[in-house]
């Protein structure tokens, strides 16, 4: 059996069906189905229960998540991790810019997934890599990983992020870029702005202008692949170091983009969690 999660039912949450209580707590229908198929997946006061059973004030509801044992995941590799926070449900990491998120034909056993799998193996935990969102190779900063299916389901699409970027142009004040993003060639990862694409909205604020470049604080209203990079390229100001999107500035060997702040509700405790990560040294030197 995997992670066990317990809820104590208080006076404000009594006289409700288990399935309705779990829905209120953000548990998806898919996750509920998984729990129903799991032996002793749902217990009320230590006894097996159905999702239609009634919870009363003072009851204890226990969820026994299925184990991930045997689930295919990344091969563990001893790669250093900069861990910001860890508990039984989440792992928060400050990713270096030169590491990819997942293994590929170009990255065998040298990705973040390999490093996390090794760390979890050492901790005696199941070595399944579940990043909630992703950062491109070349982008540094905060990555949140869910350590079980329950946490992954509750966090999906629920993490607020802010970025720091250095654009190759001068920007003052603040602004919004609202341009749809297309994928011109389905065989390539390259994106562009174009009619008929998916709506993409980027909010930016200028922090500092230096040597014809601008340090920006950015948050996204939408989350499209390469969104920040594509939007600033469309303004004629690709991110410093981003040769994929037209930068000729060689002061960085990767795009000047860093996830500096995240905020989300903890999937189990429901506390508001906030984390920050400083810009890497090479980006700092630009500002």
Give the residues across from 216 on adjacent strands: 165, 206
Distance CA 81, CA 99 (A): 11
**Of 278, 263, 272, residue with least CA distance to 219:** 263
**How many angstroms separate the Cα of 129 from the Cα of each of 34, 217, 263, 275?**
19, 29, 20, 20
Answer for the pair 220, 204: CB distance below 8 angstroms, yes or no: no
Residues noted as catalytic: 136
C-beta of residue 1 within 8 angstroms of C-beta of residue 64? yes
Given CA atoms 46, 49, 55, 61 in this order, what sign does their dihedral have? positive
3-state secondary structure of 199: coil
Cα 92–Cα 222–Cα 279 angle in degrees, nearest 5: 40
């Amino acid at each position: 059996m995997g992670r066990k999660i317990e809820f104590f039912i208080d006076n404000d949450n009594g006289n409700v069906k288990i399935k309705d209580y779990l829905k209120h707590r953000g548990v998806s229908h898919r996750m509920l189905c998984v729990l129903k198929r799991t032996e002793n997946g749902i217990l009320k006061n230590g006894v097996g229960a159905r999702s239609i059973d009634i919870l009363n004030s003072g009851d204890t509801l226990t969820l026994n998540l299925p184990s991930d044992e045997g689930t295919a995941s990344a091969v563990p590799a001893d790669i250093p991790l900069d861990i910001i926070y860890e508990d039984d449900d989440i792992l928060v990491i400050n990713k270096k810019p030169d590491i990819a998120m997942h293994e590929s034909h170009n990255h065998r056993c040298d990705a973040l997934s390999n490093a996390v799998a090794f760390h979890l193996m050492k901790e005696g935990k199941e070595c399944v890599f579940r990043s909630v969102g992703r950062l491109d190779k070349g982008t540094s900063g905060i990555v949140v990983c869910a350590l079980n299916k329950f946490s992954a389901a509750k966090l999906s699409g629920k993490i607020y992020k802010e970025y720091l970027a250095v654009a190759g142009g001068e920007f003052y004040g603040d602004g919004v870029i609202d341009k749809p993003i297309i994928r011109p060639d389905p065989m390539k990862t390259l994106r562009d702005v174009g009619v008929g694409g998916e709506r993409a909205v980027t909010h930016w604020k200028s922090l500092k202008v230096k040597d014809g470049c601008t340090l920006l604080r950015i948050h996204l209203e939408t989350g499209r692949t390469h969104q920040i990079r594509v939007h600033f390229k469309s303004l004629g100001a690709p991110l410093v170091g981003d040769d994929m999107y037209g930068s000729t500035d060689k002061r960085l060997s990767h795009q000047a983009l860093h996830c500096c702040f995240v905020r989300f509700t903890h999937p189990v405790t429901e506390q508001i969690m906030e984390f920050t990560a400083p810009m890497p040294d090479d980006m700092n030197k630009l500002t």
